[in-house]
A = this chain, B = another copy of it.
Amino acid sequence: MTGAGRRKADGSSTRGQPVNGARALLRTLVNSDVDVCFANPGTSEMHFIAALDDVPEMRTVLGLFEGVATGAADGYARITGRPAATLLHLGPGMANGMANLHNARRARSPMVNIVGEHATYHRVHDTPLTSDIETVAGTFSNWVRTPQRTADLGPAAADAVVAAMGPPAGIATLVLPADVSWGDGGRAEPPAPRRAPATVASDDVRRIAKLLDSGERVTFLLGGSATRAEALRCASRIREATGASVLTETSLARLERGGGLPVVDRLNYRGGAALRQLAGTRHLVLVDARPPVAFFAYPGRPSVLTPEDSEVHVLATAGDDVAGALAELADLVAPGVAAVPGPVRPRAERDAELPTGPLTAAAIGAAVAALLPDGAIVVDEGVTSGGHVQQALTDGPRHDWLNVTGGAIGIGLPLAVGAAIGAPDRRVLGLQADGSTMYTIQGLWTMARENLDITTIVFANREYGILRGELARVGATAGPRALDLLDLGRPDLDFVALATGMGVAAERATTAEHFTAALRRALAGSGPRLVEAVL
């Protein structure tokens, strides 16, 4: 411990003695319970790095590419509910992490970006690494600040954490000029006061309750924090008591499921199927969710998926006490009614029916459902193949399911890294498409470096499979030159070699038996492993 701020016994903190900016920043972050930093540093961040030895409570995790750092911070936030910091090297470093910052924004994950910047007096020279950091950061952040004096850094860091936590949670980007970091006169700050979620007015809850009395079909659409266990149980009670339908949004930051939790279907990614799920709905009630819209536009198909003769209502938004509003509604319309537990298939039964023969996505789903330990975290970037596993796990052990929330692929491996750092006692299973894996393949190295208990399954179909479907859906006729751009098999990617090259043990499976054995080995050992499933 240095003199730069220390936590008091009651958990509060005092302002510290004057130190340099970097130490004040780090100590303030730790004071505010931000104690993990996913980093890919450069010269302008060297004082921050040097200060790490003075603030040992801050754990740093190195990524070989910034998209690993930002995606990991997202995964950490989804699992812990707390922001991690990232450390990024000027504008280009932030740009490299930006696709996953986009995903994190859509996941409403709390995060504190520290983006290194030239010294305040150096920027004017427009040197090679200079770019417009604030303008770019403004497109994905809900808070951006560039302190100009070292004394401002501690308060800025405390404010950044509060801005990130919300609610609603989001990305706070603190741009750190090098001289502000190395300058003297910084002070560690105690945590700034946190915002409380807004309580949904009881009148608004009763208004929704009345809809459920109307005899017209009501569908609840759950998103954000409404896909966690307690909220799902409330939704189940409401469904049981009133006959309302309940769906979740398509891409969820974190869905708790399995282990007897109530089962709630997802709104389908395909617009046509989603329209069928919503058909007949007269009242659509959004619970920390947004009105359903097609992911992409297609010629001649609707963008808006809300049935034309329906009304949209809002029970709670991201800034509200979402679980509280659902609980109040459940107590109102379903007093004494219990949630309906989802089915749980005995593990012994599954074990006896382990798949054999050709390796398919369905076989992989069956094997995963049989072998996944309780309390696992599943990261789904399987694109065309992940759904089979999700289906198989519906009556499986309790687990969290993490989606790509912003449609930017290349988050799967980083998300797994962050989830594993955030929950070291839980097993993480990554479902990856071959195409998506390649975007941030560097994440494997961080898994090895931190010896994380992550099992990665790569569905190797050797094409951008989803795009073949999309080509047809947009009504385009595909010739050989078009199809060649969707083909990943020239040359084939060897994921065993790629994983091994980054220190992750790996094997390739071409039959269901081999896959099951490989998965069993991977889940039994400690540290990361990869299984390339050739489909």
A interface, CB within 8 angstroms of B: 39, 41-44, 46-47, 49-50, 52-53, 56, 60, 62, 64-65, 67, 90-93, 95-96, 98-99, 102-103, 106, 118-119, 121-122, 125-129, 131-132, 135-136, 138-140, 178-179, 182, 251, 290-291, 293-297, 299, 303-304, 405-408, 410, 435, 438-439, 441-442, 445, 448-449, 466-467, 470-471, 473-482, 484-486, 488, 490-498, 500-503
Closest to A97 in B: B95
Docked Cα-Cα span, A147 to B46, in Å, equals 44
By the criterion CB–CB under 8 Å, are B482 and A295 in contact? Answer: no
Q: List 23 A-B contacts (CB under 8 A).
A: A46-B467, A47-B474, A47-B476, A50-B478, A53-B482, A56-B481, A90-B407, A92-B102, A95-B102, A96-B410, A122-B294, A126-B290, A131-B139, A132-B139, A135-B136, A179-B299, A182-B299, A441-B442, A449-B490, A494-B500, A494-B503, A497-B497, A497-B501
The residues of B that contact A43 with a CB separation of less than 8 Å are 296, 466-467, 470, 473-474
Docked Cα-Cα span, A118 to B49, in Å, equals 41
The residues of B that contact A503 with a CB separation of less than 8 Å are 491-494
**In the assembled complex, how far is the CB of residue A464 from the closest CB belonging to chain B, in whole angstroms?**
8
Question: Assuming A182-B474, A445-B493, A485-B49, is B498 touching A42 (CB within 8 A)?
Answer: no
By the criterion CB–CB under 8 Å, are A438 and B448 in contact? Answer: no
Question: Known contacts A50-B479, A98-B98, A129-B295; can you find 19 more A-B pairs with CB under 8 A?
Answer: A39-B485, A47-B474, A50-B474, A52-B485, A53-B480, A65-B410, A92-B103, A93-B99, A95-B95, A95-B102, A96-B439, A119-B297, A126-B290, A129-B408, A135-B136, A441-B441, A449-B491, A492-B503, A494-B501
Contact of A500 among B52, B131, B297, B497 (CB under 8 A): B497
**In the assembled complex, how far is the CB of residue A457 from the closest CB belonging to chain B, in whole angstroms?**
17
Closest to A404 in B: B128
The residues of B that contact A119 with a CB separation of less than 8 Å are 297, 303
By the criterion CB–CB under 8 Å, are A485 and B96 in contact? Answer: no
By the criterion CB–CB under 8 Å, are A46 and B471 in contact? Answer: yes
The residues of B that contact A495 with a CB separation of less than 8 Å are 501
Docked Cα-Cα span, A216 to B471, in Å, equals 68
**In the assembled complex, how far is the CB of residue A65 from the closest CB belonging to chain B, in whole angstroms?**
5
The residues of B that contact A65 with a CB separation of less than 8 Å are 410, 438-439
**In the assembled complex, how far is the CB of residue A466 from the closest CB belonging to chain B, in whole angstroms?**
8
Contact of A102 among B50, B99, B131 (CB under 8 A): B131
By the criterion CB–CB under 8 Å, are B491 and A296 in contact? Answer: no
**In the assembled complex, how far is the CB of residue A480 from the closest CB belonging to chain B, in whole angstroms?**
7
**In the assembled complex, how far is the CB of residue A514 from the closest CB belonging to chain B, in whole angstroms?**
20
Docked Cα-Cα span, A304 to B124, in Å, equals 11
Contact of A46 among B50, B470, B502 (CB under 8 A): B470
Closest to A43 in B: B470
Docked Cα-Cα span, A5 to B66, in Å, equals 43
Question: Assuming A42-B467, A43-B470, is B98 touching A95 (CB within 8 A)?
Answer: yes
Closest to A407 in B: B129
The residues of B that contact A476 with a CB separation of less than 8 Å are 46-47, 49-50, 182
Docked Cα-Cα span, A524 to B439, in Å, equals 32
The residues of B that contact A303 with a CB separation of less than 8 Å are 119, 121-122, 125
Closest to A494 in B: B501
Contact of A125 among B96, B182, B293, B492 (CB under 8 A): B293
Docked Cα-Cα span, A295 to B42, in Å, equals 12
**In the assembled complex, how far is the CB of residue A527 from the closest CB belonging to chain B, in whole angstroms?**
11
The residues of B that contact A500 with a CB separation of less than 8 Å are 494, 497
Docked Cα-Cα span, A54 to B511, in Å, equals 41
**In the assembled complex, how far is the CB of residue A383 from the closest CB belonging to chain B, in whole angstroms?**
11
Give the 4 A-B CB pairs with smallest separation, nearest first.
A53-B479, A491-B503, A497-B501, A92-B408
